[in-house]
């Protein structure tokens, strides 16, 4: 038998390209081939750059009244018009974007951390630990999220920090369930059993062996949570529970809502900003998911 028909050699030849890369490199290779995900990534980077550098280049205070109230985009000097008080919509979008994204990223990070801390041990240890932790998860999952967040914000006051806390408080059960499932699956995998047989402590197995392997779905989940957090923050601000001292896209929507028939632009543009940001995040999340699980893509 000549060596070129040896299956191992054939597989090596096909995979040579992929082998040269690290797992992350390979994921990036898969991600790059996904046009929708790439579009999402470019959009997301553009939005981040705009919100980081935009306020430096376009120096208008989002709260200051700079024009006649209700100046439409076509009649004044302001590119996107002014709201019912005469505040610059574009300045609000740029500066507000910063805080909106910051809240979402912090809330997303915290949500994943809480979810991991509760769901991870539940899945790994099982038994009584699991039933207690999952009951706790259920307790937070059953009440309608927005009502729970509203109550927390009314009791503690609507500040940016409390917004982050309130969003994480209602979002973590989803991550906890996911982490539980992942840790449950991984605890019986051979390499985990091998580590256990070799005498590794539970803490070491949890943090060094299971966690890295559970990360891909958790990263995808984090992107979903961040997208959801933007929508949720907008919803809370719309209900009057945004931080009144800090401009966010949600606050812009909420404060201009009663004047929507006279100033459609002051409501339409912040909404579009949220829409494109969440869309970009979902596309990137889908792309990461596909990159880590190429088989699922067939669905």
Give the interface with other proteins as residue ranges (CB under 8 A).
135, 138-139, 141-148, 150-152, 154-156, 227, 231, 234-235, 238-241, 250, 253, 257, 260-261, 264, 267-268, 271, 274-276, 278-279, 282-283, 299
Separation CA 280–CA 237 (nearest Å) = 22
**Min separation Cβ 142 and other proteins, Å:** 5
**Min separation Cβ 243 and other proteins, Å:** 14
**Min separation Cβ 59 and other proteins, Å:** 28
3-state helix, strand and coil shares in percent for the chain, rounded to the nearest 5: 80, 0, 20
* 163, 251 Cβ separation under 8 angstroms: no
Question: Which of 171, 192 has the CB closer to other proteins?
Answer: 171
Question: Which of 85, 260 has the CB closer to other proteins?
Answer: 260
Separation CA 180–CA 121 (nearest Å) = 7
**Min separation Cβ 141 and other proteins, Å:** 8
- DSSP type of residue 240: I
Cα R_g (the chain), whole angstroms: 24
Q: Dihedral angle at the C-alpha atoms of 59, 90, 92, 280, nearest 10 degrees?
A: -120
- Residue 202 CA to chain centroid, in angstroms? 30
Question: Which of 36, 49 has the CB closer to other proteins?
Answer: 36
* 197, 64 Cβ separation under 8 angstroms: no
**Min separation Cβ 271 and other proteins, Å:** 4
Question: Which of 5, 299 has the CB closer to other proteins?
Answer: 299
Question: Which of 23, 143 has the CB closer to other proteins?
Answer: 143
């Amino acid at each position: 038998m000549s060596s070129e028909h040896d299956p191992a050699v054939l597989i090596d030849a096909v995979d040579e390209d992929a082998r040269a890369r690290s797992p992350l490199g390979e994921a990036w290779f898969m991600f790059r081939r996904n046009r929708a995900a790439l579009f999402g990534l470019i959009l997301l980077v553009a939005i981040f750059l705009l919100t980081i550098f935009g306020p430096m280049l376009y120096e208008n205070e989002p709260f200051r009244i700079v024009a006649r109230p209700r100046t439409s985009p076509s009649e004044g000097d302001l590119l996107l018009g002014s709201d019912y008080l005469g505040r610059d919509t574009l300045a609000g979008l740029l500066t507000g974007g910063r805080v909106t994204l910051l809240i979402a990223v912090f809330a997303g990070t915290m949500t994943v951390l809480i979810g991991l801390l509760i769901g991870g041990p539940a899945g790994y240890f099982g038994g009584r630990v699991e039933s207690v932790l999952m009951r706790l998860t259920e307790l937070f999952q059953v009440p309608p999220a927005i009502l729970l967040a509203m109550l927390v914000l009314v009791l503690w006051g609507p500040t940016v920090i409390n917004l982050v806390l309130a969003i994480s408080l209602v979002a973590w059960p989803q991550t906890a369930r996911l982490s539980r499932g992942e840790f449950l699956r991984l605890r019986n995998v051979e390499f985990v059993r091998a580590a256990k047989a070799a005498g590794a402590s539970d803490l070491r197995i949890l943090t060094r062996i299971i966690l890295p392997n559970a990360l891909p779905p958790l990263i995808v989940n984090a992107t979903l949570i961040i997208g959801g957090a933007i929508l949720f923050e907008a919803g809370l601000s719309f209900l009057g529970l945004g931080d009144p001292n800090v401009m966010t896209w949600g606050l812009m929507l909420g404060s201009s809502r009663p004047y929507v028939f006279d100033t459609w632009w002051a409501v339409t543009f912040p909404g579009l900003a949220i829409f494109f940001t969440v869309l970009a995040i979902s596309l990137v999340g889908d792309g990461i998911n596909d990159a880590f699980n190429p088989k699922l893509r067939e669905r």
